[in-house]
A and B are shown apart, each in its own frame.
Chain A
Amino acid sequence: MLSVIVLLLLGGCVWLGFELLQARRASRVLRAGQTETEEELKRLQATQSQVIHTTKLASLGQMVAGVAHEINTPLGFVKSNVEVIGDLLDDYRTLVKQYDAAVQHCLQPVDLIFGADKSSLDKLVKHVEEARRKLFEARTNLEKSPLLKDAKELLTDASDGLGQLSSLVLNLKGFSRVDRDGMDTMDLNEGVESALMIAQHQLRDRVKVVKHLQSLPKIRCMPSQMNQVFLNLITNAAQAIDGDGILTIDSKSDGKQVEISFADTGSGIADDILPKIFDPFFTTKPVGEGTGLGLCIVHKILKGHGGSIKVRTTPKKGSVFTLTLPVDGAGVIKPVAAAAIA
């Protein structure tokens, strides 16, 4: 009997030990699984921030390309004009030298008159006549010469071009707000204008831009993020339009909120896609071309500023994106972490 009990106990112990071992193994597997999941999560987070960084770089690249293109034309004629003006001045100096020579020629007879006898007087008269003619001709050449007028015209153009170049740089600075960080008060119309300038090379000769910008109260926001919102919406509109089209931008305010809409005559958005357009990583573009983050970031930025965005669309007719922002939003603002999207 005792031996049976001992045997049972022993059996129980062995069983318990076995169970314990099993449990330990299971917990080890579980822990390993947990670490794996954590690592996976970290990897995903890293990928996401990398993608966000890539979109930031892509929009920077777009900005640089756009501005470089805008700069080439004024730079082209300013550079050439400056060189040509140098040539024109050289040519003008030649004319002045010729005039000088004519003056010298006129002065010679004066010396001769003092030592003149009767026979040489005739020659002298002829010389004076010749000298007068030469002087008159040189003088006319100088007066009629278009060189200075041309140079002046080229200078006017050059200074015009330099003005254009500096406003481009100013615009660029305004767009990226490199000299200021974080919150500031901003006239959103200015943001729209500078984003239009950056997107110029995508619109030009293809998409006509119609602006109805009413004067807006300044709002407190992160200007660089707002500019990114505008650039994103303008770029999307340009891409939605295949061939020629119109982008209409309206802005207005009732004093409490500001409303800006971007209406394009593009392809519109299909019904089955519409609910997904603000989702992260959703894109209709081929792999490698779109990040699928553009509208997601737009949405995040506006939400962070206490605002919202709505879309109305008719397939094949176009879409209207309307964003609304509170004028007195100082209390609500929770800007998205600058590192993530700015």
Chain B
Amino acid sequence: MSEPLRILLIDDDARILRTLKAMLRDCTTFQTTNPLEANTLTRQHDVDVVICDHRMPAKTGIDVLRDIKEAHPRAMRILLTGYSDLKAVLGSVNESEVFRFINKPWDNTQFKSLITEAGHIARTAPVIARDPLPPNEHDRARAQVGVLVIEDDTTVQQRLREILQPYYKVNFVNTAERALLVMEQHETGVIISETQTGRSDLTALLKALKQHHPHIATVVITERTNAQTAIELINEGQIYRLLIKPIRMGTCRLSVDSALGRYWQLKQNPLAARRFTAAAPSEHGLHSPLRLPAALLNRIRSLPGRLLGAARL
């Protein structure tokens, strides 16, 4: 890389800042213990990557990163926290749309290579517009792109049918196997999924799909919430939204609408999808024993590009 990456570090503990600065000696770092300065610093130095603590007295990391997302969308956002409570995890998906959620203590080697990757993406991948699609464009997207619901609870299916059927081309399935059948036949832009159906885990499927097709937007609607699973879904599944049951009509519609918009924009601008690259599933992950069968994985890999809309990269 020609010029060293510009990184902004925000933590109310100055010792963490000194540590990160020393760890990132090869980069140009800017730092502050005052989260209220973050937005200005990000723009002033045109930073590539922002690494932010969550719990700070003046402002939470979720709020800091959400504001940076609006003001300087070019920067890749990483939350670094010692407190992985569910509220923080939900906020980092739904509000600040972080690239990674990293727990303290971290591993230097992995963290450094992650930051390098993020910086490279920030410099090379284009930014997509954050505004909602214009109405006519949105109608075209709705007419063309399918929404796939993976859920085995019939009551929930019924509820989603009521909310979504009038607006989208929706398909309902209850297994990973059937989900792939649908995806092999219809262009699918948004997947709405539980983390589990019956006794089988769906997170491995969601992660694998994201690995190979990063432009599909995943909305996870779950009743079994666990911070660790959610963090893995952020890092290895780059999920677009994480909603907790019971399903609320307004939130659900909004999420699916903006997910569809995101898919549509990535379809026009496939290079931007790199901004949503998922990490390779970790060996120590909660669900690592639940590997996807090789046959299923192959089918995910070879999902036809024509149906996915975007050119395969």
Interface residues of A (CB under 8 A from B): 69-77, 79-81, 83-84, 88, 150, 153-154, 157, 160-161, 201, 204-205
Contact (A84, B19) CB under 8 Å given A73-B13, A73-B82, A201-B83: yes
A88 to B18: give the CA distance in the assembly, Å: 14
Contact with A along B12-48 (1 / 0, CB 8 A): 0101101110110000000000000000000000000
Q: Are the CB atoms of B18 and A75 closer together than 8 Å? A: no
Chain A binding surface SS class: helix
A77 to B16: give the CA distance in the assembly, Å: 6
| Number of chain B residues whose Cβ lies closer than 8 Å to a Cβ of chain A | 19
By a CB distance below 8 angstroms, the chain A residues around B16 are 73, 76-77
Q: Are the CB atoms of A154 and B55 closer together than 8 Å? A: no
- B55 CB to nearest A CB, Å: 5
By a CB distance below 8 angstroms, the chain B residues around A205 are 55-57, 60
A155 to B291: give the CA distance in the assembly, Å: 42
Interface presence of B289 (CB below 8 A):
no
| Residue from B13, B57, B103, B108 in contact with A80 in the complex, judged by beta carbons closer than 8 Å | B108
Q: Are the CB atoms of A160 and B19 closer together than 8 Å? A: no
Q: Are the CB atoms of B15 and A77 closer together than 8 Å? A: yes
- B220 CB to nearest A CB, Å: 24
- A219 CB to nearest B CB, Å: 35
| Residue from A75, A79, A157, A204 in contact with B55 in the complex, judged by beta carbons closer than 8 Å | A204
Interface presence of B167 (CB below 8 A):
no
By a CB distance below 8 angstroms, the chain A residues around B15 are 74, 77, 157, 160-161
Q: Which of A153, A157, A201, A204 has the most CB of B within 10 A?
A: A157
By a CB distance below 8 angstroms, the chain A residues around B199 are none
- Chain B residue at smallest Cβ distance from A75: B105
Contact (A157, B19) CB under 8 Å given A79-B105, A205-B55: yes
Interface presence of B104 (CB below 8 A):
yes
What are 10 A-B contacts with C-beta separation under 8 Å? A72-B105, A75-B105, A77-B13, A77-B18, A80-B20, A80-B23, A81-B22, A153-B18, A157-B18, A205-B60
Q: State which residues 55-102 of B face A: CB under 8 Å.
A: 55-57, 60, 82-83
| Residue from A69, A72, A80, A204 in contact with B19 in the complex, judged by beta carbons closer than 8 Å | A80
- Chain A residue at smallest Cβ distance from B109: A83
By a CB distance below 8 angstroms, the chain A residues around B13 are 73, 77
- Chain A residue at smallest Cβ distance from B22: A84
Contact (A80, B105) CB under 8 Å given A73-B13, A160-B15: yes
A154 to B20: give the CA distance in the assembly, Å: 11
Q: Which of A75, A76, A161 has the most CB of B within 10 A?
A: A76
A70 to B105: give the CA distance in the assembly, Å: 11
Q: Are the CB atoms of B19 and A77 closer together than 8 Å? A: yes
By a CB distance below 8 angstroms, the chain A residues around B103 are 72
- Chain A residue at smallest Cβ distance from B104: A76
By a CB distance below 8 angstroms, the chain B residues around A154 are 18-19, 22
Q: Are the CB atoms of A75 and B104 closer together than 8 Å? A: yes
- Chain B residue at smallest Cβ distance from A72: B82
- A145 CB to nearest B CB, Å: 12
A83 to B15: give the CA distance in the assembly, Å: 15
A88 to B106: give the CA distance in the assembly, Å: 19
A161 to B13: give the CA distance in the assembly, Å: 11
Q: Are the CB atoms of B22 and A76 closer together than 8 Å? A: no
Q: Are the CB atoms of A88 and B105 closer together than 8 Å? A: no
Q: Are the CB atoms of B83 and A69 closer together than 8 Å? A: yes
A263 to B160: give the CA distance in the assembly, Å: 47
By a CB distance below 8 angstroms, the chain B residues around A75 are 104-105
Q: Are the CB atoms of B82 and A88 closer together than 8 Å? A: no
By a CB distance below 8 angstroms, the chain A residues around B19 are 76-77, 80-81, 84, 154, 157
| Residue from A72, A83, A204 in contact with B104 in the complex, judged by beta carbons closer than 8 Å | A72
- Chain B residue at smallest Cβ distance from A91: B25
- A84 CB to nearest B CB, Å: 5
